[in-house]
Amino acid sequence: MRSITSAIMRRFSIRMSMACRKGQALVTAMALVVALTILVAATQHQVVQELKVTKTERDYERALQLAEAGLNAYINRIDYGAAPADASNPNDPGHLIPPLREFPIGAAPSLADFRRGVRDGTYTLIRYPPGSQQGYLVGSIGTPGETARFISFGWSNGVVRRVVGVARQASGDYALYGVASVTMHNNQSVTGNVGTNGQVTMHNNNEIENGYLVLNGPGADVSQHKNPGIRVRRGPTPYRWPTVAEIALEKWPNSGATAPGGLEYLATHNDNDLATIDGVPGIPGNKIDLKNNSTVVFRGKPGGAHYYLAGLTGKNNGTIHLDNSAGPITIWFGPSGGNGEFEMKNGWDLTQAVTDPAHLCRFYVATRGGVTIKNNGASAIGIYAYNVENGQPFGSVTLKNNSTFTNCRIIANTISVEQNTTITYTPAPYFYPEDNLYAITDWREFE
């Protein structure tokens, strides 16, 4: 009997032990499931929170980018006017150009006022892309003058940032401005200011009279060599000169995809028929090659004559005469980024009939061939040779070998004056198209 009872108790003990082990495993498994569930939930919560932070950071950064874009768009709007927009196509780029707006001085909206104004319809955003919760609003603070202040708000899903920029119109008091560089070799004399955003290299016996060497931006510098008497001024920001292509587009805006403006328009709508080469009217192929005492005469007209050239070379006593007695003369070199050049050498002569400021004579060079004028000549005209294609600036002017330039202003990407060149410029109330264009000199964010 005892043996039977003992056997039963052993079996019961074994079964209880097995049951306990199974229960412990179940509890452990359930604990693991609970722990994994908590971990997954915590991870999901963390991911959600990080996504919210990422979205907020994205909107914060995007709002600043939109504010900056709005400021640039507004400067472009003032400089070049409003491009036509296709009313039937909300994605047409013309819809992104901001309207002119003036905020009274001291009354520009705060961030909170602007956010509330967007939501209640007081302010209408320029939305990009159209219909999205992103966009900008921009205007001037007061009426723009020679110096102007602008305020731009960027909006992204309710996040607002704003920037305030200062812009000025071009100064007309430069005799020379080499955007990237100016090189003055031996025995050069310049009357008026010389400026650059880049590097000025000076060799022996150079003079800047009645003016300064102006270095604009942190990258601008000068190697004065043996010219310690040069007076130097520094500006905090690089100056942005408009390109020749931009100046032409301001005068002849695009009027649609089938009616291009600027230099492309001028190539077929010009006054070339008013010119004569050795007495023969017209400019065949829009190119001029003067040799051995040849003469080209460009004639002005009331309101201004505009000529379009793909290239002009003159040598061996070639003469360019600008008969501006009837009106101003502007000679444009294109196409933008082309290879045409403007070169005069060996006893050249470039004259104008009158020096009346209302009958200004000017050369605008949008080609890569640049300008070279050398060897015993004289001129009284202005040259502008600064252009950009695919983000790359170009435009060179080289003046050398006993050449004299009177009351000239010369703007280019790079300028080199060499071997007894004399340039005299006296600021006068001449109208240069680029002087009306604004360029940003400073901007900062205000919170």
pLDDT value at residue 139:
92
Residue 236 lies in a domain: no
* Residue 427 shares a structural domain with residue 342: yes
Boundaries of domain holding 395: 241-431
Residue with more model confidence, 37 or 364: 364
| Number of domains comprising the chain | 2
Which range, 137-146, 222-231, 420-429, has the best average confidence (pLDDT)? 137-146
Residue 182 lies in a domain: no
Is the Cα dihedral 176, 182, 183, 184 positive or negative? Answer: positive
- Confidence bin at 427 (pLDDT 50/70/90): low
Residue 255 lies in a domain: yes
Phi then psi for residue 301, to 5 deg, are -155, 160
Q: Would the pLDDT of 175 be above 80?
A: yes
Q: Report the interhelical angle of 244-251 vs 2-80 (nearest 10°).
A: 70
pLDDT value at residue 18:
60
Work out the average pLDDT over 150-164. 93
* Residue 165 shares a structural domain with residue 261: no
* Residue 253 shares a structural domain with residue 343: yes
CA angle in degrees (0–180, nearest 5) for 375-414-228 = 85
| 308 vs 315: CA distance, rounded Å | 20
Residue with more model confidence, 412 or 376: 412
Residue 267 lies in a domain: yes
* Residue 389 shares a structural domain with residue 283: yes
pLDDT value at residue 365:
97
Q: Would the pLDDT of 289 be above 80?
A: yes
* Residue 253 shares a structural domain with residue 395: yes
Kindly report the number of other CB atoms within 10 A of residue 289's CB atom: 14
pLDDT value at residue 83:
63
pLDDT value at residue 27:
67
* Residue 285 shares a structural domain with residue 411: yes
* Residue 249 shares a structural domain with residue 160: no
pLDDT mean across residues, the chain = 83
* Residue 158 shares a structural domain with residue 263: no
Q: Would the pLDDT of 317 be above 70?
A: yes
Residue with more model confidence, 256 or 164: 164
Residue 85 lies in a domain: yes
* Residue 290 shares a structural domain with residue 161: no
Q: 209 — alpha (psi -120 to 50), left (phi > 0) or beta?
A: beta
* Residue 253 shares a structural domain with residue 164: no
Work out the average pLDDT over 142-149. 84
* Residue 156 shares a structural domain with residue 293: no
User: Which of 292-296, 305-309, 369-373 bottoms out in mean pLDDT, i.e. has the lowest?
Assistant: 292-296
Residue 125 lies in a domain: yes
Rg (CA), the chain: 35
* Residue 294 shares a structural domain with residue 388: yes
Residue with more model confidence, 428 or 237: 237
Residue 16 lies in a domain: no
Residue 44 lies in a domain: no
Q: Would the pLDDT of 26 be above 90?
A: no
